[in-house]
Structures are given as C-alpha cells and as structure tokens.
Structure 1
Amino acid sequence: MSAGTPERTPTPGQPRRASVPEFGHGMVVGKFYPPHAGHHALIAAAAARCATVTVVVAPSRRESIPLDLRLDWLREVHADTPWVRFVGRYDDHPVDYADPAIWDAHCVVFREAVGPGPVDAVFSSEAYGAELAHRFDAVPVAVDPDRRTVPVSGTAVRADPAGSWRFLSPPVRAWFVRRVVVVGAESTGTTTMAAALAAHYGTSWVPEYGRELTAHKLARLRERSPGASVFDVRWDSDDFRAVVREQQAAEDAAARSSGPLLICDTDARATAVWEERYLGSASPQVRAAARRPALYLLTDDRGVPFDDDGLRDGEHLRSWMTERFRAELAGSGVPVVELTGSHTARLARAVEACDALLAAGWSLADPIATPHTN
C-alpha cells in the first residue's frame, strides 16, 4: 500500500449543456459513500444532456460519513454546473430489487427529494437504473456500467482508500487522510524527521508556522534594534492563537492534495506546551483547538546535539520540554511513538509506525447490503 501523492485525480472537466438539451429534468440517485471520480463522471454526463439535474444523495444512517459532508463535497466539485442541484435524504429501507413494496418505499424517498414535476431521464451506472427510470416514467440512461472509463466503485474505495486515492477529490482526500504529527523540544530533529518521512512516502508535510513567526518577529525587532537576538523576542497569548490558526489552515490546505499520509511538524497540542514555556500556562483557546491526529511521533532530546541556528533559545530546557510533551501526549488518546537513537534509527522506527497505520486501513460501516453498492 503506497502513501505517496498519486497522479492527479480524474475530474469531470467543464461540462457544457447542449444549446438545446436532450432532456428537461434528469435525476441521479446514489449513496456516494464516498463520492469518487465515477460519480462525478456520471453527474457530468447528466449535466451535459439535461436542462436541470437533481442528484439525490440517499445513504442509510448506519454509514460512517455524514450526509451533510457528502453534499458539501459534491457541491464543491460540481460548482461549475449550477443547473445541477444536490438533495440529501436518509433512506434506511432494506434493499431487495425483487420486492415491489420495497421499491415503492425507496421511490417515496426519492420522489420527496426530487419534488413535484416530471423526471425525464434517470442517469445511472447501476443495473437497477432501468427499473428506477421505469418507476419515474423516465428514459433510462446508462453511463459506464462496466466501469471501464473510470474503474472505481464505492466498495473499492471503502475497502482500500489509499489504493483508490487518485479517484478521490480534494475534500474527500482531506477527510480520509491520516495525519501524523512530529513533536519535540528545540533542535531534536522534528523538522528533519517530517521532511524525511514526507520524502520516504512521496507525500506532503506541513512546516512549523511558529518558526516562521519567530523569524518574522526577530526581523521586525532588528529593524529597530539591529543587535537584537532571539532572546529579545517577546510573545503573548495572541501570538500562540495565531500560530494555531495558521498551522491548522496550512494543514487543512495540504490535506486536500496530500497522499494518504500527511506529515505535520507540530500542532495545537504542542503549541500549548510552547505557550506554557513562554507565558507560564496555556490559554483555554489554544487547548480547545487541539485535534486528534492518527499518530504522534515524539523526538527525544537525548543524544541530539543542540544546533543554535539563531532562532533557538531553549537548550537548557530541552529535557524539561521533552517530559512536558511526553505528559501532554499521554493524555491525548492518540498513539505515541518515541523516536530515539541516531537519525537512521529514528526514521526506521517512524516508518515502521506509519506503515502499521496504513496497514490498519480505514474502518467504515458497511452500507445496507446490495448486489451492487455505489
């Protein structure tokens, strides 16, 4: 299983409606669990041939991805076709294509979602599309039923999101991505480790914004006092809130284009430790911003020489900070792997932990069983 950044996701392109659309109102129905490139191609096909399209997103409540998220993802990807609307309804009815009463129950859900008025065409990649069209007195339009144009299915994505990564749009990738956060005291190799892991997996990593802010504050200070050093830089609570805000914004942006692993050099929980160091305590806002990544990697200070690069001022506090990180992470509810020894040994241990994370896969509830789940 690869964690690398894959080839660019197939997209539906910029579909244009025919000057005289073939159909007035088209309908697409599915679970979109999760939305993938095959779904987008299906919707684009309907958009190109219809004056208006209603996409009914109809999962059961047992599924793991919230309905509202699926709607948001689909609307983002298809924002260039405003004549396509997305409507969500939960559909917890059992599935039995041979039972007319169950068909009736599903169609009540779909009809309520679509609203009054005729449906002229039903677009589907599933075998049930013809029967669904019949029940709406509409023309059935099959789109890539053999999955030859876009070889993916919801079942395949749920079974192995990493293996289907190239078929996922940026917002869906961001939801699935496993975030690995590297933390540690000054000059213990967090940045080196984050970059090395990203290179190993061919994926993205998010640099530490606090370091960028330190450099900016020092540069501003030197405009007034050329001889100033990092020991003259002052911090306040607003600075640490800004660090959390900017760090999380960068992380969220990177998650949309990352491979299945996203490597992060620090996070809000680590920022709380830094705020405690400089101000004596961490603010409630910084603590409240803490997220739950998939894995923490803690770089031990032992055996790592202190490299004074002009932006560091805590050589005497490294052991204390390592202990503070250790205590902070112990209460996070997130697995923690400590990295010790040489860089080679640390990287090998980090890769082992990340490989195990990927091998564990993703746990998604099965949908209500169907012969062909989409």
Structure 2
Amino acid sequence: MKSHRHGLVLGKFYPPHAGHHHLVTTAADRCERLTVLVCAASVESIPLADRVAWMREVHNSPGVRVVGAVDDVPMDLDDPAIWDAHMEIFRAAVPEPVDAVFTSEAYGTELGRRFGAESVCVDAERSLFPVSGTAVRQDPIAHWDFLRAPVRAALARRVVVLGAESTGTTTLARALADHYRERGGIWARTRYVPEYGRAFSEAKLARLRERRPGAHWSEVSFTSDDFPLIARRQQEQEEQAARAGSPVVFCDTDAFATTIWHERYLGGTHEEVARIAAAGRQHLWFLTDHEGVPFEDDGLRDGEELRPWMTDRFDAELRRTGRRTVRLTGPHPRRLATAVAAVDALLDEGWNFADPLPDRTGTTTASPLTERG
C-alpha cells in the first residue's frame, strides 16, 4: 500500500544520473502519484526540454509525471525572499496539493514545510550511488556507468569514417572500435556502426538474383526514395550504438555521406536526405583518401574511375558545411595512428558544460537546485 497520495521530486537533473533515478524510483514506490519537476536555468547548456524528455523516458511508469520549469532566480536559500521566488515557480509548475517531498538534501525539511508536506530523505550519504551532477559535468567519462541510455546518447562522441569506394572506410572504422575496446573498462563497450547502405545494396542484389540468377551488380538500380530510407536507418543504428556504448562510437559512414552517394548514383541533392543529415549529432569525420589504396571489386563496387571525384566531393562538402574533418592518407597503420590521435584530442577537450547559476547559500543550507550537484 502506498504511503502518500501525491509526492514531489524536484531538481536540475543537469544531467540526470543514477542517484537521481534512485530518488525518483524510491518516491514512486511510495506514492500513488508522483510529480518530477525539472528546473533549468537559461544559462545552462543542456536544454530543459532534453532533460524532461530523458526523465520521462526512464520514468515512464503509471502514476509518474515529469514536468519542467525555467528557474532563473539567483541561488541563496539563506534568504527568505529567494525561497519565496523559487516557491512561486515551483507552485506554478505543480499547483496540486503535495503531501510528501522526497530529497537527498538538508533543504528537504524547509521545502516540505513550504509545500505543507512531509519531508522524506533518501540516501543522504550517497552510499548507494556516489555521484553528483557536478561530478558528471566535470568528468562524464569517469561517471559513465552512472548514466542511462538517453544521456549516454547525448554525450557520446560520434566519429564517422567516410570515403569513396574501396578506400578502407570499413577497415578503419572497425580498427578504431577495436583499439578503444582494448583499453578495457567502459571502453570495452565501444560500438562500431556498420554501413547500412551496403546491407541495403546486398538485399537489392539478392532480390534481383531471385528473379534472374547470375545478375551482376551493375544491373541493380536505385531510386531517390531509397536514400532517405538508408539515411534514416543509418542514423537509427548510430543512435542505438550511442545509447549502449562507451563515450565514443565509430560509424562506417553517416546520413551526411548518403547525400554524396545520392549524387553519385542519381545526380543532384535530395532535400529529405539533407534534412536527415542536418539533424545528426556527429562530432568528427575522417575522410579516407583513395590515393595508394588498390581498388577491390567485392561484387558491390563498380566505380573505380569515380573515386577521385567522390573524394573531392566529400572534401568539398565537409568543408562547406563546417564539419570537423581529418583527411587520412598513406598506409593503414599511419591512418589508424592519425585517427586515434584525433579522437583522443576530441575526448580530451571534454564537454564544456556551462556553469549553473552561482549558489550564494551558506554552508549549512543546500539549495534544491543543487541536489546531487
């Protein structure tokens, strides 16, 4: 039997982590209804809508409602006027009566009093999940195991390998994933995303051969409608890998590359494919040069003479769209070493989260918007 009718959990969730989820799950187990209030300041770099969406995905059980509010009130909860200002925002977002407020902080008693609700403290010592939002922002990699799938997907660094036919893109993407897996720990979960366009092409050729055994790849035809499907599926596979993997995911091509493949087969651009590519969340592109790489016909290739044109088109569009790109030349070991150095540099840059509003609260009182950091 539930001990409370309507409970409340509030915080910044900047970003959400295992401690937050434990707090919400505990509250949900004890309440007939639970409201989770996500409060974000305008200066912060993770949008409120994203945090609300992440919390809704994780806590989607019946009786749990997640809402959001912008709270740009300065942080000083030793000041009753500041408390009043925060409470005005909280009450506007959660106007219903609340009979229990769940927190892991010392401020819970005052928050409960102001809501006219019981204050319930959950794991104040952080013994179950020794993590805070501040710690995650400072070093996401060190706290990766405390993050759930939607946050991992948002934070994972996505690295794309693309290039003309038979230039070693698949070999390099797989080698990069293997290199980072060998580092162990969270890196052992590093994912490689295969080229969906190849699987799509293999299926086309197989269907053709069902009708005409012995049909050659050159007899396969594409339509413009094929390319949005390829781009969307490539992006879906990338998203799945980012949600389950390590802080970096390696992709053998992406939706952006599909725009060039459309040019190669049908000429011109495809607006829908371009829109899909624009919505991508990739961070670094490696362009594999064709020079010095023998062309190997694996049964799905017929464009050796087009490789210089494709390399130039990739290069031109990567530059035009401002994508962070490293062009890889020379033998495979040199390409791999160059790529690893570039990925390490990307990871070393960190995530550069914007600082939350400064908290002027004294050392004896914590703010409800600095819960678990």
Mark yes or no: TM-score above 0.5: yes
Q: 1:292 to 1:333 in 2, by over 3 A?
A: farther
- Following superposition, the deviation at residue 78 of structure 1 comes to 1.1
How is 1:143-154 mapped onto 2 (pairs within 5 angstroms)? 143-154=122-133
Q: 1:217 to 1:116 in 2, by over 3 A?
A: closer
The answer to whether the aligner puts 1:243 opposite 2:230 as a matched pair is yes
Match of 2:254 among 258, 267, 270: 267
Instruction: Indicate if the aligned counterparts of 1:292 and 1:334 stay in contact, CA closer than 8 A.
Output: no
Q: Please name the residue that 2:335 is paired with.
A: 346
Q: How far apart in 1 are the matches of 2:31 and 2:227?
A: 51
Q: How far apart in 1 are the matches of 2:41 and 2:230?
A: 40
How is 1:27-176 mapped onto 2 (pairs within 5 angstroms)? 27-80=8-61, 82-117=62-97, 119-176=98-155
**Unaligned 5+ residue runs, structure 2?**
182-189
Moved more, 136-145 or 360-369: 136-145
Instruction: Indicate if the aligned counterparts of 1:269 and 1:328 stay in contact, CA closer than 8 A.
Output: no
Q: Please name the residue that 1:289 is paired with.
A: 276
Q: How far apart in 1 are the matches of 2:273 and 2:91?
A: 47
One-letter code aligned to 2:232: R
Question: What percent of counterpart residues are identical?
Answer: 58
Q: Please name the residue that 2:201 is paired with.
A: 214
- Following superposition, the deviation at residue 218 of structure 1 comes to 0.9
Q: How far apart in 2 are the matches of 1:87 and 1:285?
A: 33
Q: Please name the residue that 2:185 is paired with.
A: none
Q: How far apart in 2 are the matches of 1:292 and 1:105?
A: 37
Moved more, 163-172 or 362-371: 362-371
Q: Please name the residue that 1:257 is paired with.
A: 244
* Residues matched between the structures, number: 353
**Unaligned 5+ residue runs, structure 1?**
1-18
CA offsets per residue over residues 29-65 of structure 1, 9 Å max, x none?
A: 1011111110000011111222222211111111111
One-letter code aligned to 1:330: R
- Following superposition, the deviation at residue 280 of structure 1 comes to 2.0
- Following superposition, the deviation at residue 292 of structure 1 comes to 5.2
The answer to whether the aligner puts 1:322 opposite 2:311 as a matched pair is yes
Q: How far apart in 2 are the matches of 1:333 and 1:126?
A: 45
Q: How far apart in 1 are the matches of 2:68 and 2:5?
A: 21
Q: Please name the residue that 2:184 is paired with.
A: none
| SS of 1:263 mapped into structure 2 | strand
Moved more, 283-292 or 242-251: 283-292
Q: How far apart in 1 are the matches of 2:25 and 2:50?
A: 20
RMSD: 1.4
Q: How far apart in 1 are the matches of 2:23 and 2:197?
A: 44
How is 1:13-24 mapped onto 2 (pairs within 5 angstroms)? 19=1, 21-24=2-5
